[in-house]
Chains A and B, each alone.
Chain A
Amino acid sequence: MNVAKRTFDAVIVGAGGAGLRAALQLSEAGLKTAVLTKVFPTRSHTVAAQGGVAASLGNSTEDNWHWHMYDTVKGSDWLGDQDAIEFMVRKANEVVIELEHYGMPFDRTDNGKIYQRPFGGHSMNYGQAPVMRSCAAADRTGHAMLHALYQRNVRANTQFFVEWMALDLIRNSEGDVLGVTAIEMETGEVSIFHAKATIFATGGAGRIYYSSTNAFINTGDGVGMAARSGIPLEDMEFWQFHPTGVAGAGVLITEGVRGEGGILRNASGERFMERYAPNLKDLASRDVVSRSMVTEINEGRGCGPDKDHVLLDITHLSPETIMKRLPGIREISIQFAGVDPIKAPIPVVPTCHYQMGGIPTNYKGQVVAPKNGDANVPVAGFYAAGECACASVHGANRLGTNSLLDLLVFGKSAGETVVEDFKSGNLVLKPLPADAADVSLARINRLETQTGGSEVHDVRLAMQRTMQKHAGVFRFKELLQQGVTSILEVAEQAKVTQIADKSKVWNTARTEALELDNLIEVAKATMISAEARKESRGAHVRDDAPDTAEHPNGRDDQNWLKHTLWYSEGNRLDYKPVNLKPLSADVEPIALAKRTY
């Protein structure tokens, strides 16, 4: 097969929030940049973010970055790296103000400033009361942000390769990253994108679960590519289950609904969060709210004929508030729950939403991996940002609105690092190995010729059912052990997928088969990392690590205050320390404590 070669200063894979923010940095600095994206940029999943982006602007209530940092570290259950967290919260105002200057249509306060609403786990004065920190454009913040970022890239003349799917990372014998291979969906042709710098901004992989708020395209492509090429994946056992997915449909209902005053109720109409989180109640951290909901359902207080969901009630809000602040939610609720939330509460269940772990990076956006006894050695030429990366700012549980902040701050930071490395002459075009495209061509060729194998949708469904059953909101020792066996069996099936469609042109069967290769890496990493972590922390809560005096909330800092690293080869696990030291001397480390809300 003929493989075209294209050469750039930098190649960015993914055109969601993180990719577009990084692209802007490179385009405006004059680097020759290619942005590869499976979908037209404004169709990336950032578009579905609803409630807001965190920044301690203090437009409606007093606020400062110290409080935001405390909330984020506590929310992470102390697994987040405090240097990266300090970096993120201190950059928040800058990146949000920039977006406003790019034209993002934020809602406004009466005095014309950016409108901010309360959100889960965000507090004033170190946990005392909710704070208004979430900068919002109605309940369409991600849409407004993604379009503003795309529009700014149009202005900057960024070069996009739309509907190109990256296939594999290209590394040389030293392990340096030299670019990617990619397939043009319209023609089926494979090309090499040879670059001095490669930035992954490929998003999450929520489609490993059966019930997910995530788009079809969220198949962990970058995470899978990194894993297959020998990069370890960090903290993949930590997945966020968003408390309020529409029951049955999985579509997201923003936490901003509770930020605007929405209340969760059980079958008897009780506001049950008062029992689980007496202080922040419905605005406790997402892991806490999701577990409380599942406990209500498991103990027979769920709603509906099957007692399998709870209700999100905003009928006490004025129709004007709902129409002004939550218009998209009303549409979604009518479309997917058949309920007008002005008149009746919305049926909701915890639904897989966000991948806290990912490709390990530092706060500069450089991908890091262990080498010669040092846990965090940058991989030359390789950068990552957004949901695919693990900086790690979210640790064991992400706060709502910190994901849009993450992609802005670290998208920009990765871009800045590449520009600096480029200008200082640290980035050079290293020679491509002769076999640079061989792995990708072999994958394509196998799909051309595979017979007697398994159907892509069957294998995908088996994976999703396995993840849902064995690695859900609550985790159980035996289920996790069985889950490891099951997912490894599914992974064997994924090696022999077959497709009937052999067309070169826009072959979506082939795309889905290639995506499954990425999903399965993420699923294995998740199950194996989760089985191994013998404590409860943040979103990872297991039955054999209960709340005791010695281990509050089941957390075991003595043995498990460390990041997991999973290597695809041999399913090997390694660990590295959590950075408990902030970046600067302006703030003391946030001391370990039991999480309560």
Chain B
Amino acid sequence: MSKRTVQFKIYRYDPDKDAQPYMQDISVELEASDKKLLDAIVRLKTKDDSLSFRRSCREGVCGSDAMNINGKNGLACLTDIDKLAQPITLRPLPGLPVIRDLIVDMTQFFKQYHSIKPYLVNNDPAPERERLQTPEDREELNGLYECILCACCSTSCPSFWWNPDKFVGPAGLLAAYRFLADTRDQATNERLDNLEDPYRLFRCHTIMNCVDVCPKSLNPTRAIGKIKDMMVRRAV
């Protein structure tokens, strides 16, 4: 791909000077080496250094640069710029308070993640060597542990938009199942108790936006289904 000019429509808001948010029309000439959306907005920032967004690894593993791209949540660093319809509309992740431009306040998102006790619980005395786990048992964690906490899923979920303080949301529930599925973890009952609530787990209505947007191709809806199965099995 050679040099080309790309048109953007970007949500802008700086509480230090703007009374309210607005959409900015702006274009940028890209170099041949600019392939991803992140490359383009980094180049845009050399023209207007006030454009604010988070970014770090630029390879889809740190989870910093999640945003709403032409109406769909995704990571800027994994989105091919030339496949996007123009003007490319960029907004902050929906449903969370905006701090500035494309930067949202993720407090509520992390609060829900923390609420599921995202750490292994095993109260047996630590053995001298590793706790054994069969390759098959380990495979149960695939599709769960790879989450990068980018929040694309939870902020595309209508249930999370309506009840971000009460519904754990897909990312938190995926993490909850990651520990429920780990043969080394001993807190199964406490974890299920923690989720047995009309809101925390059961606000998931399998709309599956989470699956649609996950940049790591993970499936929170399936994990939520498995937690519900565990609750049913525990009840009978």
- Chain A residues engaging chain B, CB cutoff 8 angstroms: 39-40, 42-45, 47-48, 97, 100-103, 105-114, 137, 140, 143-144, 147-148, 151-152, 154-155, 186, 215-217, 248-249, 251-252, 328, 331-332, 335-336, 455-457, 499-501, 503-509, 512
Contact of A506 among B49, B59, B100, B119 (CB under 8 A): B100
Q: Which residues of A contact B60 (CB under 8 A)?
A: 331-332, 335
Which residue of B is nearest A162, CB measured?
B110
Instruction: Choose, from B11-19, B188-196, B224-232, the stretch at the interface.
Output: B11-19
Chain A nearest CB: distance from B226 CB in Å? 17
Chain A CB within 10 Å, residue with most, of B57, B106, B134: B57
Provided the pairs A105-B138, A216-B58, A501-B50 are in contact, do residues A143 and B132 lie with their beta carbons within 8 angstroms?
Answer: no
Chain B residues within 8 Å of A248, by CB: 33
A113 and B148 contact, CB distance less than 8 A: no
Contact A154 B145 (CB under 8 A): no
* A-contact bits for B8-26, CB 8 A (1 contact / 0 none): 0000001111000000000
Q: Are A102 and B119 in contact (CB under 8 A)?
A: yes
Q: Which residues of A contact B54 (CB under 8 A)?
A: 39
**A505 and B135 contacting across the interface, CB-CB below 8 Å:** no
Picked from A106, A144, A501, A504, the residue with its CB within 8 Å of the CB of B49 is A501
Chain B residue, CB-CB nearest to A110: B135
Determine the residue in chain B with the shortest Cβ distance to A457. Answer: B46
| B202 CB within 8 Å of chain A | no
**Residue among A101, A456, A500 with the highest chain B CB neighbour number at 10 A:** A101
Contacts A331-B60, A332-B59, A335-B60 given; indicate if A42 touches B138 (C-beta within 8 A): no
C-alpha gap A154/B61 in the complex (Å): 21
Nearest B residue to A163 via CB reads B54
A503 near B16 with CB under 8 A, answer: yes
A507 touches B57 (CB 8 A): no
Q: Are A42 and B146 in contact (CB under 8 A)?
A: no
Minimum CB–CB distance from A287 to chain B (whole Å) comes to: 24
Residues in B with CB closer than 8 Å to A501 are 49-50
A107 with B118, Cβ < 8 A, contacts A144-B145, A500-B50 known: no
Cα separation A144 to B142 with both chains bound (whole Å): 11
Provide the residues of chain A in CB contact with B52, threshold 8 Å.
506-508
A106 touches B120 (CB 8 A): no
Contact B57–A509 (Cβ < 8 Å): no
Q: Is the interface of B mostly helix, strand, loop or mixed?
A: loop
Instruction: Provide the residues of chain B in CB contact with A47, threshold 8 Å.
Output: 57, 61-62, 148
CB <8 Å contact, A43 and B62: yes
Task: Identify 6 new A-B residue pairs, CB closer than 8 A, beyond the known A43-B63, A154-B117, A512-B49.
Answer: A43-B64, A101-B131, A147-B145, A500-B48, A508-B52, A509-B49
**Could you tell me if B119 and A152 are in contact, using CB atoms closer than 8 angstroms?**
yes
Contact of B100 among A97, A331, A505 (CB under 8 A): A505
Tell me the bound Cα distance from A408 to B187 in angstroms. Answer: 27
B141 close to chain A: CB less than 8 A: yes
- Count how many pairs of residues, one from A and one from B, have CB atoms less than 8 Å apart in the complex: 150
**Please, how many angstroms separate the alpha-carbon atoms of A435 and B60 in the complex?**
42
Tell me whether B119 and A151 are in contact (CB under 8 A). Answer: yes
Cα separation A331 to B215 with both chains bound (whole Å): 11
B129 contacts partner chain A, Cβ-Cβ < 8 Å: yes
Contact of B134 with A101 in the complex, beta carbons under 8 Å: no
Tell me whether B61 and A40 are in contact (CB under 8 A). Answer: no
Would you give 18 A-B contacts (Cβ < 8 Å), ordered by A? A42-B148, A44-B62, A45-B56, A101-B126, A101-B130, A110-B135, A112-B133, A143-B61, A216-B56, A248-B33, A251-B58, A331-B60, A499-B49, A500-B49, A506-B99, A506-B103, A508-B52, A509-B49
B56 A39 Cβ-Cβ under 8 A: yes
Which residues 1-56 of B have a CB within 8 angstroms of A?
14-17, 33, 35, 45-46, 48-50, 52-56
Q: Which 9 A-B pairs have the closest CB atoms?
A: A103-B120, A112-B132, A509-B49, A501-B50, A151-B119, A43-B62, A503-B16, A100-B130, A155-B119
A217 touches B131 (CB 8 A): no
Contact of A39 among B61, B64, B100, B120 (CB under 8 A): B64
Q: Are B130 and A40 in contact (CB under 8 A)?
A: no
Please determine whether A113 and B132 come into contact, CB atoms closer than 8 angstroms. Answer: yes
CB neighbours (8 Å) of A101 from chain B are 120, 122, 126, 130-131
Distance between A462 CB and nearest chain B CB, rounded to angstroms: 13
Known: A103-B120, A108-B133, A151-B119. A251 touches B145 (CB 8 A): no
* Distance between Cα atoms of A456 and B131 in the complex (Å): 50
Instruction: Kindly provide the distance from the CB of B67 to the nearest chain A CB, expressed in whole angstroms.
Output: 14
Please give me the residue from chain B that is nearest to A504 by CB atom. Answer: B16
Docked complex Cα distance between A456 and B129 (Å): 50
Asked whether A503 and B50 contact (CB < 8 A) given A39-B64, A105-B145, A151-B119, the answer is yes
Residues of chain A contacted by B134 (CB below 8 angstroms): 108, 112
Docked-complex contact B119 and A103, CB < 8 angstroms: yes
Q: Which residues of A contact B117 (CB under 8 A)?
A: 154-155
Do B148 and A251 touch (CB < 8 A)?
no
Residues of A within 8 A of B49 (CB): 456, 499-501, 508-509, 512
| B222 contacts partner chain A, Cβ-Cβ < 8 Å | no
Which residues of B lie under 8 Å from residue A113 when comparing CB positions? 129-130, 132
Give which listed residue, B99, B137, B179, contacts A186 with CB less than 8 A: B99
Identity of the chain B residue whose Cβ is nearest the Cβ of A336 in the assembled complex = B59
Once the chains bind, are A102 and B120 in contact (CB under 8 Å)?
yes
Given contact pairs A112-B132, A140-B146, A151-B118, A215 touches B33 in the complex (Cβ within 8 A): no
Name which residue of chain B comes closest to A252, CB basis: B59
Q: How far is the CA of A190 from the CA of B53 in the complex (A)?
A: 21
One of A48, A455, A512 near B61 (C-beta < 8 A): A48
A40 to B149, CA, bound (A): 10
Contact residues in B for A335 (Cβ distance below 8 Å): 59-60, 78
Complex CA gap A535/B132 in Å reads 49
Q: With A and B bound together, what is the CA distance between A457 and B44 in angstroms?
A: 12
B114 x A48 contact (CB < 8 A): no
Q: Give which listed residue, A48, A97, A111, A152, contacts B57 with CB less than 8 A.
A: A48
Cα–Cα distance between A456 and B45 once the two chains are bound (Å): 11
> Does B141 contact A105, Cβ atoms closer than 8 Å?
yes
**Please, which residues of chain B bring their CB within 8 A of the CB of A215?**
56-58, 62
Chain A residues within 8 Å of B130, by CB: 97, 100-101, 106, 113-114
Q: Which residues on the A side are within 8 Å of B106 (C-beta)?
A: 40
CA distance A101 to B148 in the complex (A): 21
User: Roughly how many angstroms separate A152 CA and B22 CA in the complex, as a whole number?
Assistant: 41
B17 → chain A closest CB, angstroms: 7
Is B203 in contact with chain A by the CB < 8 A criterion?
A: no
CB B136 to nearest CB in A, in angstroms, measures 9
Write the chain A residue with the least CB distance to B136: A108
Q: How many Å lie between the Cα of A505 and that of B99 in the bound state? A: 8
CB contacts (< 8 Å) of A103 on chain B: these are: 119-120, 179, 182, 184-185
**One of B119, B131, B141 near A100 (C-beta < 8 A):** B131
Q: How far is the CA of A328 from the CA of B57 in the complex (A)?
A: 14
Residue of B48, B119, B141, B179 with most chain A CB atoms under a 10 A cut-off: B119
